[in-house]
């Protein structure tokens, strides 16, 4: 199609040539050792982003490839050159960008850890054990929580997978198939749960539970209640199985009671069901439930341990702050976190099996909340 000409278009007069600008005087050369206007004091640069290996190379007077070798694998350059590069990097306030490093290697030197509830002290030692072991290998730990939601947990795990080298799931709530799908993408280690085909760290609860039940039987208790954890908790099921087996061995009656949530408030709400059960001793899924249960029973005038003995699980920080101090089955929480990090690092560096379970023993810690049954 032919384009129509603009009506009444009038040619504009030619512009007069712009006079040539007078040449600017040449800047005097910068004296050797003095900072240029593009550099701030102590080698920091003004008006630019983070320092790069090219900036370090320029200051140190070496090739960028030499800087890369010196910073990524010390020992591949001479001691003198290494010192020169490190001084230049320090002067420029250079920091390694793990995501930039990941471009050629696919590794970010970060591990992900997802816990079921970040406010639950049960996970404090797991976090500490994981972080301390990762730090020894110069890995950074990225922490997230699922808030006891399988849906949230899966979404969070998928997001973390994009930025971490491997993932640790502490007491996961999602399905086994979802966990295995994540493990096919990147290395995954699970704590407090067995998942076929995935590396797992699972404390052996039977030893500690057996000790607790035998202790209660020796104090004259005949019926023991177990206050369970969340329905989606694999470990809650395992602990209930341990209580049943130990009670069968000691010829005691065992009854399972449900809780609304694995918290102090959940323990308070379970108190009415505990009294209605007729049990004179209680084992709970975790210490928070035990503490809440104790508080509610005492508020109702029930003597602990005279009328009801209470035994918690995990031996969290503060378990001995209660009145009376809480008897509990101590789980190797810090060791579990450390073992999980070690396994994950072994996978990343080619030194671990594809699937097996690591176990550490639990043990009974006797304090004041359990004791002889006082009959009236």
pLDDT value of residue 30: 43
Query: Among 115, 119, 116, 117, which residue's Cα sits nearest to residue 129?
Result: 115
pLDDT value of residue 40: 38
Question: What sign does the CA torsion over 310, 315, 318, 320 have?
Answer: positive
User: To which H or E segment does residue 112 belong?
Assistant: strand 110-115
3-state DSSP assignment of residue 170: strand
pLDDT value of residue 365: 97
Can you read off the two tokens belonging to residue 195?
A: 């998942």
Label the pairing between strands 363-365 and 327-330.
antiparallel
Domains of the chain (ranges, CATH numbers):
41-96 (1.10.260.40), 108-203+335-358 (3.40.50.2300), 205-331 (3.40.50.2300)
pLDDT value of residue 80: 86
pLDDT in tens, 290-333: 999 999 999 999 999 999 999 999 999 999 999 999 999 999 99
Q: Which residues pair with 141 in a beta bridge?
A: 111
d(CA 372, CA 356): 41
pLDDT value of residue 376: 63
Q: Which residues of 32-41 are buried (b: 16+ CB within 10 A; e: fewer)?
A: eeeeeeebee
pLDDT value of residue 273: 97
pLDDT along the chain (376 residues), means of 10: 41 45 45 41 45 86 85 77 87 69 65 94 95 94 94 95 94 95 94 92 94 97 97 94 97 97 96 97 98 98 97 95 97 94 90 69 96 83
Q: Which residues pair with 283 in a beta bridge?
A: 226, 311
pLDDT value of residue 99: 54
196: number of Cβ within 10 Å: 10
pLDDT value of residue 325: 98
């Amino acid at each position: 199609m032919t384009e129509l000409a603009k009506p009444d278009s009038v040619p504009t007069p030619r512009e007069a040539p712009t006079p040539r600008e007078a040449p600017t005087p040449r800047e005097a050369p910068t004296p050797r050792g003095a900072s240029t206007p593009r550099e701030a004091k102590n080698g920091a640069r003004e008006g630019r982003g983070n320092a790069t290996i090219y900036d370090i190379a320029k200051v140190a007077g070496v090739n960028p490839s030499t800087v890369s070798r010196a910073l990524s694998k010390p020992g591949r350059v001479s001691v003198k050159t290494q010192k020169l590069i490190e001084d230049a990097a320090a002067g420029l306030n250079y920091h390694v960008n793990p995501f930039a490093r990941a471009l050629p290697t696919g590794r970010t030197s970060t591990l992900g850890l997802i816990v079921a509830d970040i406010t639950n002290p049960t996970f404090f030692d797991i976090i500490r054990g994981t972080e301390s072991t990762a730090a020894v290998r110069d890995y950074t730990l990225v922490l997230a929580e699922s808030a006891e939601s399988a849906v949230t947990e899966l979404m969070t795990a998928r997001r973390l997978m994009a930025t971490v080298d491997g993932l640790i799931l502490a007491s996961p709530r999602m399905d086994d198939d979802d966990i295995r799908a994540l493990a096919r993408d990147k290395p995954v280690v699970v704590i407090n749960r067995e998942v076929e085909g995935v590396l797992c760290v699972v404390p052996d609860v039977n030893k500690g539970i057996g000790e607790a039940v035998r202790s209660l039987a020796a104090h004259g208790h005949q019926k023991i209640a177990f206050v369970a954890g969340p329905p989606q908790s694999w470990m809650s099921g395992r602990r209930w199985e341990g209580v049943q087996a130990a009670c069968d061995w000691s010829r005691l009656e065992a009854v399972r009671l449900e809780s609304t949530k694995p918290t102090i408030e959940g323990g308070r709400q379970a108190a009415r069901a505990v009294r209605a059960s007729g049990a004179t001793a209680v084992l709970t899924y975790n210490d928070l439930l035990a503490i809440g249960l104790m508080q509610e029973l005492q508020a109702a005038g029930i003597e602990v341990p005279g009328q009801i003995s209470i035994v918690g699980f995990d031996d969290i920080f503060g378990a001995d702050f209660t009145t009376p101090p809480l008897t509990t089955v101590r789980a190797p929480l810090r060791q579990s976190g450390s073992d999980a990090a070690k396994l994950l690092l072994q996978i990343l560096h080619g030194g671990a099996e594809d699937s097996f379970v690591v176990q550490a023993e639990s043990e009974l810690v006797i304090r004041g909340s359990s004791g002889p049954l006082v009959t009236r």
